[in-house]
Structure 1
Amino acid sequence: MNQIQSNEDGAAPRRRSPLKWAIGAVLLIGVAAVLYVIAQASFKPAGVADLKEFKKASLEKLDVPAQPRGQPATVFTDGAGKSLTLADFKGQVVVMNLWATWCAPCKKEMPTLAKLQARYATQPLKVLPISVDRDDDLNLVQAEMAANPPLQVYRDPGYKLSFELDPRAAGYPTTVIYDRQGRERARLAGDADWSSPEAHALVEALLAEH
């Protein structure tokens, strides 16, 4: 007598092949991946570029927040002593660089910031090298800017911007990049080559946003 139990039609139960199980699992994973991408995109503001793709080469240390951050309302001054805030530059892509004349990495990267400003001189891009040097060293700040045209003198000798950033600046140099809406979109602690292709691509991605 046959020992294999039959189903209602009298046929032996079919076993699903391992290959079919594998194909089914792959399809399920694929569907889940597509749904995840769609969900992630739905939380991303329209027209906002993903700057993580520029986190490479000279910008390897670039920090791109999951969501754009606000900017501090901290007052700093220009070379003539006029009070300014970051809001005064709304409508432009702002590359704010906190630096000091006693900081060797700061001085190393300064020429590349000058090249960045010069390259986009006719576009809404503003490089803001804000010195934290004390008043007694103003002549040194002026000399550094004179050596790196078209950069201009900006000052925050009380370190207010450094502490009122969220999170606060980790050291010098610290470069914070704001979009034309005044939102922090990326940050880099330490020196970088701001005249590099990846730096140009990052700036151009922000300039292309509306």
Structure 2
Amino acid sequence: MSERSDEGAAGGPKIPLRWVLGGVAVLGVAAVLYIIGQASINPQQETSLKGFAKGEMAKFALPVEAAPPPAAGFLDAKGQTRRIADFRGKVVVVNMWATWCAPCVIEMPTLAKLAKSYEGKNVEVVAISVDRPDDEAKARAFIAKHAPLAFYHDPKMAIPFAFKPAAVGMPTTVIYGADGVERGRLAGEADWSGKEAKALIDKVLAES
């Protein structure tokens, strides 16, 4: 069988048709590999969490990029430095709150109910107070009323600004998969004890 070739419009050298077809095939494979690669690092493609942004979770937003938690530390009830990465291996629901934040105060009982419903499972609710040092006792007393939540404190209010992008509004809740990668966040008050929240957490848990 003879090899067919075509000349360029400007009278350039003849290029065997099989080379052209081979090049198209290579480009096609490369495109497929690129799409697969993007899906593996893009949480919007890696998960189907977008469909869970409804009801009380309507403000849940997927991250722009798959990012690990900030390295900034905060204090536990004993004054020991902790980091969000310490909880890797679990689905982590990080909530930033303060006693001076009315929506935070309203929301906290629902986070306690969420934590209670997942006791014994691979889920950790980490509520971090950003109250000033002078208000630490007030914050401790408040969180003590919402078992099983533990007291965590960021007296320098560094954690919210360490996120990418920064979580400047209170309350803000950021969810991490067991792999330590952000799955999304919700800015503002929400009912974390409802069916929409549990459906979202169950989905992240199933993917972990």
- Give the TM-score taking structure 1 as reference length: 0.78
**How many percent of aligned residue pairs carry the same amino acid?**
46
Aligned residues: 175
Q: Which runs of 5+ in 1 are unaligned?
A: 1-38
Matching of residue 45 in structure 1 with residue 40 in structure 2: yes
Matching of residue 173 in structure 1 with residue 168 in structure 2: no
Q: Match of 2:186, as an amino acid?
A: L
Equivalent position of 1:140 in the other structure: 138
Of structures 1 and 2, the larger Rg is shown by 1
Of the candidates 153, 156, 165, which is equivalent to residue 154 of structure 2?
A: 156
**2 CA distance for matches of 1:85 and 1:121?**
21
**2 CA distance for matches of 1:182 and 1:140?**
31
Equivalent position of 1:116 in the other structure: 114
Q: Deviations over 1:88-142 (max 9, x none)?
A: 1000011000100000000000000000000000101110110011111111111
- Shift, 1:41, TM fit: 6.6
Q: Deviations over 1:33-67 (max 9, x none)?
A: xxxxxx86763239943111110111111111254
Q: Contact 2:161–2:168 (CA<8 Å) still a contact in 1?
A: no
Matching of residue 76 in structure 1 with residue 74 in structure 2: yes
Of the candidates 54, 57, 70, which is equivalent to residue 56 of structure 1?
A: 54
Q: Secondary structure at the match of 1:98?
A: strand
- Larger CA deviation: 102-111 vs 44-53: 44-53
Q: Contact 1:133–1:157 (CA<8 Å) still a contact in 2?
A: yes
Q: Contact 1:58–1:193 (CA<8 Å) still a contact in 2?
A: yes
Equivalent position of 1:34 in the other structure: none
Q: Match of 1:199, as an amino acid?
A: A
- Shift, 1:70, TM fit: 2.0
**2 CA distance for matches of 1:199 and 1:193?**
7
Equivalent position of 2:6 in the other structure: none
Q: Match of 2:56, as an amino acid?
A: S
- Shift, 1:209, TM fit: 1.6
Q: Match of 1:183, as an amino acid?
A: V
**2 CA distance for matches of 1:67 and 1:197?**
27
Matching of residue 183 in structure 1 with residue 181 in structure 2: yes
Equivalent position of 2:91 in the other structure: 93
- Larger CA deviation: 175-184 vs 134-143: 134-143
Q: Match of 1:43, as an amino acid?
A: Q
- Larger CA deviation: 57-66 vs 110-119: 57-66
- Larger CA deviation: 66-75 vs 111-120: 66-75
Q: Contact 1:130–1:154 (CA<8 Å) still a contact in 2?
A: yes
Aligned-pair RMSD on alpha carbons?
A: 2.2
Instruction: Give the ranges of 4+ consecutive aligned residues of structure 1 lying more than 4 Å apart after TM superposition.
Output: 39-42
Q: Secondary structure at the match of 2:175?
A: strand
Q: Secondary structure at the match of 1:201?
A: helix
Equivalent position of 2:5 in the other structure: none
- Give the TM-score taking structure 2 as reference length: 0.78
Equivalent position of 1:20 in the other structure: none
